[in-house]
Amino acid sequence: MGRHGKLEMGENLAMATAYPICLTVVFMGDSITFGQYVSSSLRWSDLIADKVNVCYLDTPINFMFANRGVSGETTRQGLERYPSDVQALCPDIMTLQFGLNDCNCWVTDRGLPRVSMAGYRANLVEMIVRARYFSVKHLILLTSHQTLRHKILPSGESLETQRIHYNQIVRDVAQETGVTLCDIEAEFLKYSHKELASLLLPYPDVLHLSPLGHEVYANVVGPFINRAIADIAKSSEHRHDQV
């Protein structure tokens, strides 16, 4: 894939458990997780799932992957469906990404963000607390990627400027709660303006990921999933050895 890298998922296969285990992986978020406007087979969560299944084909590790992205949602709305979409599944591993809707400002809200920064922080923390209560072993918290939406909103700032503020909250929450941070923004900063445009859907969208953008996401998030799988497999092996 050239500059966009290659999704390497099999590096920890030697650590795979000799005993059958079933792992549930949930991708929780908004339209970026859902994969709006692209085929489900091209979205980053499915690219990761396909690669994991192939790489672990000759091991006794089995997977259930669940994409729980809903377009247009904020963390407030995500919390409302958290019991059915996360808690009911009791995932072993989950990714969590919200923010592009939370920071957006609608004209009808007279410049207020859909979810305030204080509310956004509180919602992320509650999601993490609930995930731990329902025995999620690895939670990977994602920042949001750069967009090309620079129009000044009723708030007096562009969505891009707002997004940067909310991303810092994500980093702060990850540090405060001890979950794993996957800094998508930092990875996207490596690309020029022209390259960034190729990772997004064309104008007037310039926010949702293109198929190439989904590949980049898969290459960035995939190794985090792989390390989590290897860690759980190693722990499972250790428990069996103690029996």
Gap between the Cα atoms of 209 and 229, Å rounded: 26
pLDDT in tens, 68-83: 999 999 999 999 999 9
Instruction: Give the tens place of pLDDT for each residue, 37-53.
Output: 999 999 999 999 999 99
2 has pLDDT over 70: no
156-180 per-position pLDDT tens digit: 999 999 999 999 999 999 999 999 9
Distance CA 225, CA 139 (A): 10
Length of the chain: 243
Determine the Cα–Cα distance for residues 112 and 119; give it in Å rounded to an integer: 12
Alpha carbon separation from 19 to 51, 60, 149 (Å, rounded): 21, 6, 49
- Which amino acid is located at 185 in the chain? E
102-133 pLDDT, tens digit each: 999 999 999 999 999 999 999 999 999 999 99
Q: What is the pLDDT of residue 185?
A: 98
Two tokens, residue 151 = 């129009």
Domains of the chain: 16-238 (3.40.50.1110)
